Amino acid sequence: MTTAFVDGSVIIGDGRVLEHATVIVEGEKIVKVAKGNVNIPEDAQKIAMDGQVLLPGFIDSHVHLCMDSSPDPMTSALSESQTMTALKAANFGRQTLLAGITSVRDMGGKDGIDLGIRQAINYGLIPGPRMLASGKLICMTGGHGWQFGLEVNGADEVRRAAREQIKAGVDIVKLMATGGVLTPAVEPGSEQLTEAELRAGVEEAHKAGKSTATHAMGTKGILNALRAGIDSIEHGVYLDEEAVSLMKERDVPLIPTLSALFNIESKGIEAGIPAFAVEKTLKVKPYHLESIRMAREAGVRIAMGTDAGTPFNIHGANLSELKFLVDCGFAPMEAIEAGTRIAAQVLGVDKELGTVEEGKLADLIMVEGKLLDNIEILLKRESIRLVMQGGKVVKYA
């Protein structure tokens, strides 16, 4: 099957824009990206772009498909059956794909359901984004996310937990360096797993060729994780100059997950979000925004990640994150790169995805409107006119 996207604006994903360009897809790959007159195979399905914009499928570096975006999603997930969680997760995956997010990194599931959803998507049983899964998070006893995680004490227990998750088939080992917002009686800025514990988990993951990520809000926990060799910092609320310097030196990306912050703040206690979560969110907000500014100005790579599944952070509304980045000072093109090329690097799939280039997999979306003039176009799902994944059109409206 050959498809030709004809005569339109193409955002490559690396800062370049090609006008009046044609992109040809054969099978699952992009075989031609060029401006001007292009020889198009006679049997190709031609899609006239007619002023629309073609760009890479977006990549969300931090989602939770096992969480349902309800006011209290932790309690919701704990109270429902595995079957219900799995069915919800499958639906959330479909909604995410149709919204133009063709790949995700799931950063904490329930009872291995995320691993099963990944397998079902890979087998073609259900529609959904390409998916990397982290399985059960690894936390200290009573630490952030303990309800779904493996609770450990000491480096040896972390090592064992990491090995168990690698055995289960995870793509990423997730380690909890600090407290967080959605776990009661836990301080977001507090250190949790120690540097030695984090290092044990990182070593085991890297030995197996797996990447690592850490939930890290507080400064000391962030520094512990960086010194331990972590591969990405999730949230990064209380960054300081030392942390930013280490991230830049070691090329460790930041995934700020602004959607979690702003959705909790905007909905509040009145919408049923637990008071402790709202109070902690309001407390960390100014530090979080300042940390993002520091990281961006220092040249730290910043990738799109939403924390979708947290309160009112709806699966399928992921692209709101790009608006939040723009509101924080990012240019629209910077925000788009955060959700394409840089996110592909975070997932370790940048040789296959993240830019519109010959030889890469044809994960593409077509958007109606002048996207670089108004990033909020992406907030309207009807603006996403076409979604292609691996050369197959999964949405065309």
pLDDT above 90 (res 135): yes
Cα–Cα distances (Å) from 224 to 38, 50, 217, 218, 311, in that order, read 53, 51, 11, 10, 29
Q: Are 208 and 170 in contact (CB under 8 A)?
A: no
What pLDDT does residue 381 have?
A: 87
What pLDDT does residue 51 have?
A: 85
Which letter does DSSP use for residue 360 in this model? S
pTM (predicted TM-score): 0.97
End-to-end alpha carbon distance in the chain: 20
pLDDT above 90 (res 397): no
Residue 239: both structure tokens together: 């960054």
Q: Are 340 and 55 in contact (CB under 8 A)?
A: yes
What pLDDT does residue 129 have?
A: 98
Q: Coil, strand, or helix at residue 76?
A: helix
- Helix, strand and coil in the chain, % to nearest 5: 35, 25, 40
Mean pLDDT in the chain? 96
Model confidence at 86, pLDDT cuts 50, 70, 90, reads: very high
Phi, psi at residue 111, to the nearest 5°? 55, 30
- 25-39 pLDDT, tens digit each: 999 999 999 998 788
What pLDDT does residue 37 have?
A: 78
Q: Are 216 and 199 in contact (CB under 8 A)?
A: no
* E-only strand ranges, the chain: 2-11, 17-26, 29-35, 45-48, 53-56, 58-63, 101-106, 130-133, 138-140, 150-152, 172-176, 211-216, 233-235, 254-255, 364-367, 384-389, 392-396
**DSSP letters of 90-109?**
HHHHHHHHHTTEEEEEE---
CA 57/CA 366 separation, integer angstroms: 9
**DSSP letters of 272-319?**
T--HHHHHHHHHHHHHHHHHHHHHHHHT--B-----BTBTT--TT-TT
What pLDDT does residue 38 have?
A: 86
Which letter does DSSP use for residue 357 in this model? -
Lowest mean pLDDT among 32-36, 60-64, 219-223, 364-368: 32-36
User: Of 145, 137, 177, whose CA–CA distance to 161 is shortest?
Assistant: 137
What pLDDT does residue 89 have?
A: 98
Q: Coil, strand, or helix at residue 16?
A: coil
Model confidence at 126, pLDDT cuts 50, 70, 90, reads: very high
**H or E element at residue 114:** helix 113-123
Q: Are 104 and 92 in contact (CB under 8 A)?
A: no
Structural domains of the chain sorted by starting position, each given as residue range(s) with its CATH number in brackets: 2-57+354-396 (2.30.40.10), 58-347 (3.20.20.140)
What percent of the chain clears pLDDT 90, i.e. is strictly above it?
95
What pLDDT does residue 100 have?
A: 98
- 42-84 pLDDT, tens digit each: 899 999 998 899 999 999 999 999 999 999 999 999 999 999 9
**Bridge partners, residue 172, by sequence:** 211
Which letter does DSSP use for residue 331 in this model? -
